[in-house]
Structure 1
Amino acid sequence: MSTLLSFRDVWVEYGDRIIIEKLNLEIEEGSFVSVVGPSGAGKSSFLRLILGQEGPSQGTILMDGAPLKPECGPDRGVVFQRYSVFPHLTALRNTILGMECEKAPVMGRLFGSARRAAEEEAREMLTAVGLGHSLDLYPAQMSGGMQQRLAIAQALVKRPRILLLDEPFGALDPGIRADMHKLIRSLWRERALTIVMVTHDIREAFMLGTRVLALDKRRHDPHAPHRFGATVVYDLPMRERPEEEIDEAGIITIDVNSNN
């Protein structure tokens, strides 16, 4: 696999507070990277850097060898823990909206053949995430799992290369969560996505990812804790498991090649 993202000596600072320091990392295209770490370890900042919501204070981020601009692009989609859906729109309209904003940024609406093509693409995407029979439902009429499926459809309908997941399954019941695990793994394979997922669930991280990154501070000064940032303290490659193993709670096999 080729390198998709490169972080070269990346620092993130807010005022005199250091969040991420000296991050050097490469992410291969087609990988499923799970990111874990304690609260305040820079996991959300890491996702924002990839999404383009902010740029590094120091260092360089490359995508396909070119500098990544600090702006959100259609090649990156994101799904948050809280369902990022619009309550006044049906599932179909929620899914079409992203395409309308991209293809008709001034008016925010598509018409004629462009509208019909967008509706067809949205229907196909909703069917892919298991909502093919719920096109006319509003979010208030959906379960939590259905709303999260809708959020995934919103993110994927623009065909991003990178899908960012920020605690996407944390608010779901265990049974629904298991279904979502199967869904995201199948979409990752079928659509040749590169996924970067932040999670507090260690088992989820090891079960879904082809690679697990742990972010934390290597050093700590109790007199100036804000002057030390987090970086990758463990980088664990995982063997890819067949789908039937995803629901099993057995021992997880890892290759112990850490970067600490």
Structure 2
Amino acid sequence: MSLLIDNVWKEYGDQIVLERLNMEIPTGEFCAVVGPSGCGKTTFLRMLLGMEKPTRGAMLLDGKPLPDEPGPDRGIVFQRYSVYPHLTVLDNVMLPLEFERSRFFGRFFGAERRRAIGDARSCIASVGLEHAMDKYPSELSGGMQQRLAIAQTLVRRPKILLLDEPFGALDPGTKSQMHDLLLKLWQEEGMTVFMITHDLHEGFKLATRVLSFDKTRRDPQAPGAYGATVIYDLPLDDKAERKPIVEKWKRRTLETQAGMVH
């Protein structure tokens, strides 16, 4: 699913959060979204998910307006483990399927329920939790809980995966394992991915494209008068070339945040 962002603005009253967003994202792109805290990165993800609407401009998915409510074609994983503590691993992953089914037809029964359980088990196995099907979240480590949250999102086979700092609370070793898992699932599923991260090396390691958000103009007398936009849009096609790009980008980002570049 190709995504077109055409002159999108997001405003709350007289406060402009995002302005002049223009980009085209082809199917299968992995975009790392970076920038200082409070620059509208999560608002951007919420618009992609359908929880927020642009104030101006258009967001088109395969040439059609992006649905203005969350749907099965878009899934999201948050930094905090968004799983249900009173449900087992299997029941947590089954739940999105049951919600979707009950919305239109009622609960699963018979052969249909067995197929849904098979889909959930397969998804759980894909994130390496097949040994923990009957465990509760409190019995899992942080990394395992985040694997569960990813399985819960992937079971509906979304075309667009949204990640809001999904690995920020994990230790370095677990984070590295999650990176490998995410790359594997992305390649297998062919999803388009948007991942917010404050870890520059994580973004450049995983992504095929880095989108850097920040304000290009500021008014000290009216802090909400201008919004953030994409100040750098960096394609990362060749991994061998990424290290010098990372260092150059870090220097320019620090200068921008210090008010040296506008």
TM-score (norm 1): 0.92
Alignment partners' CA distance in 2, 1:10 and 1:43: 13
Equivalent residue, structure 1, for 2:70 = 72
Instruction: Tell whether the 8 Å contact from 1:144 to 1:172 is kept in structure 2 after alignment.
Output: yes
* Greater than 6 Å deviation, 4+ residue runs: 255-258
Unaligned 5+ residue runs, structure 1? none
Deviation of 1:107 (Å): 7.7
Equivalent residue, structure 2, for 1:225 = 223
Deviation of 1:70 (Å): 1.1
1:183 to 181, 192, 209: 181
Change (3 A) 1:34 1:114: same
1:9 to 7, 10, 17: 7
Deviation of 1:239 (Å): 2.4
2:48 to 47, 50, 60: 50
Equivalent residue, structure 2, for 1:156 = 154
Change (3 A) 1:108 1:226: farther
Deviation of 1:254 (Å): 4.1
Alignment partners' CA distance in 2, 1:80 and 1:185: 17
1:200 partner amino acid? H
Structure with greater helix percent:
2
The within-5 A match list for 1:196-235 is 196-235=194-233
Change (3 A) 1:251 1:30: closer
Alignment partners' CA distance in 2, 1:213 and 1:108: 42
1:184 partner amino acid? L
Deviation of 1:105 (Å): 1.7
Alignment partners' CA distance in 1, 2:3 and 2:83: 28
1:118 pairs with 2:109: no
TM-score (norm 2): 0.91
Change (3 A) 1:47 1:251: closer
2:139 to 124, 138, 141: 141
Change (3 A) 1:161 1:238: same
Equivalent residue, structure 1, for 2:256 = none
Equivalent residue, structure 1, for 2:243 = 252
Equivalent residue, structure 2, for 1:36 = 34
Instruction: Tell whether the 8 Å contact from 1:239 to 1:253 is kept in structure 2 after alignment.
Output: no
Equivalent residue, structure 2, for 1:103 = 101
1:252 partner amino acid? K
Instruction: Tell whether the 8 Å contact from 2:236 to 2:242 is kept in structure 1 after alignment.
Output: no
Q: How many residue pairs were aligned? A: 250
Deviation of 1:187 (Å): 0.3
1:171 pairs with 2:162: no
Structure 1 residue matching 2:125: 3-state secondary structure: helix
1:84 pairs with 2:82: yes
Deviation of 1:109 (Å): 3.1
Instruction: Tell whether the 8 Å contact from 1:55 to 1:69 is kept in structure 2 after alignment.
Output: no
1:34 partner amino acid? A
Deviation of 1:106 (Å): 6.2
- Considering only aligned residues, what root-mean-square deviation do their CA atoms show, in Å? 2.1
Change (3 A) 1:153 1:108: farther
**Cα deviation digits, residues 143-176 of structure 1 (max 9, x gap):** 0000000000000000000000000000001100
Alignment partners' CA distance in 2, 1:176 and 1:200: 17
Structure 2 residue matching 1:212: 3-state secondary structure: strand
Structure 2 residue matching 1:104: 3-state secondary structure: helix
